[in-house]
Amino acid sequence: MIKVAMDAALEAGKFLKYSVGKVKSIERKMGQATNLVTEIDKQSEALIIKKIKQHFPAHDILAEESGSHNIKSEFRWVIDPLDGTTNFTHALPIFSVSIAVEHNGEIVAGAIYDPSSDEMFSAEKGSGAFLNGKRIRVSTSQTLIESLLVTGFPYNVKENPNHAVEHFVNFLMEGQGVRRLGSAALDLAYIAAGRLDGFWEVFLNPWDKAAGILLVQEAGGSVTDFRGKPASIYEPNTLATNGTIHEHMLEILRRSL
């Protein structure tokens, strides 16, 4: 399954890279001005689903654009065909494809592909995390002041849901720096690779983080919700770190819960 996930992510990623600057239509989901979807998202998703169905026709699928396919199976593929659509529509090369496999509620395989840098992040439950076939590990940063943090904002950030703005300000004052890249899948992949030290976001969908959570865990990091409970792709808020700074980040998040 991991090979199919990686092959599908690679095929979709090559299509995305080819399609930069060629978007013909942009729609806004649920009437939100900043929540975009293009025909490229939909075509990328169709490519991925076709590839999966060729190998595992009896497996269920949960995908960003087509939703749940409601096939009764112990396996479910969780797909984000283009994570970072806003970046993509501006030809900003920070976007990715994320594909994960869930078995009876547990993520067991995942792949995140960045077509702009040709980087394939992959992980299988119990087998470690890899970047282009080489094992990766989370960082060794010990304190927040030496940690580079990353976050994202929900599409309705102007309403400040779940104190998103307060969390951002609190971490801005405590960490070495805070980045906002625009692709949660890549944020998590970069935590796994040790490029970033801590990530939080108040609202993510399952497809945004399914593969990324497994990558961080298999790279030796920690992933929970904002209260320290074990991570679930179906719970909106997410904290992922190198493990060492996890409790400190939880402490700061609790200030605004």
Q: Delimit the domains of the chain by residue range.
A: 2-136, 144-254
The pLDDT, as a whole number, for residue 252 is: 97
Q: In the CATH hierarchy, which fold is given to the domain comprising 2-136? A: Fructose-1,6-Bisphosphatase; Chain A, domain 1 (3.30.540)
Q: In the CATH hierarchy, which fold is given to the domain comprising 144-254? A: D-Maltodextrin-Binding Protein; domain 2 (3.40.190)
The rounded distance, in Å, linking the Cα atoms of 246 and 230 is: 12
Place of tokens 């992980």: 123
3 state SS of 62: strand
C-beta of residue 177 within 8 angstroms of C-beta of residue 146: no
The rounded distance, in Å, linking the Cα atoms of 239 and 173 is: 18
The rounded distance, in Å, linking the Cα atoms of 207 and 233 is: 8
C-beta of residue 75 within 8 angstroms of C-beta of residue 107: no
The pLDDT, as a whole number, for residue 31 is: 54
The pLDDT, as a whole number, for residue 32 is: 54
The pLDDT, as a whole number, for residue 66 is: 82
The rounded distance, in Å, linking the Cα atoms of 194 and 131 is: 11
| Mean pLDDT, 10 residues at a time, the chain of 257 residues | 98 95 71 66 94 96 87 94 93 97 97 98 98 98 97 86 92 96 98 98 96 98 97 95 98 92
C-beta of residue 226 within 8 angstroms of C-beta of residue 235: no
The pLDDT, as a whole number, for residue 34 is: 56
Q: How far is CA 161 from CA 31, 155, 167, in A?
A: 17, 10, 11
Element (H, E) at 6: helix 2-19
The rounded distance, in Å, linking the Cα atoms of 122 and 85 is: 22
The rounded distance, in Å, linking the Cα atoms of 5 and 51 is: 9
Q: How far is CA 245 from CA 21, 154, 222, 251, in A?
A: 40, 24, 9, 10
The pLDDT, as a whole number, for residue 30 is: 57
The encoded tokens of residue 114 equal 């960045």
Question: pTM for this one?
Answer: 0.94
The rounded distance, in Å, linking the Cα atoms of 203 and 162 is: 9
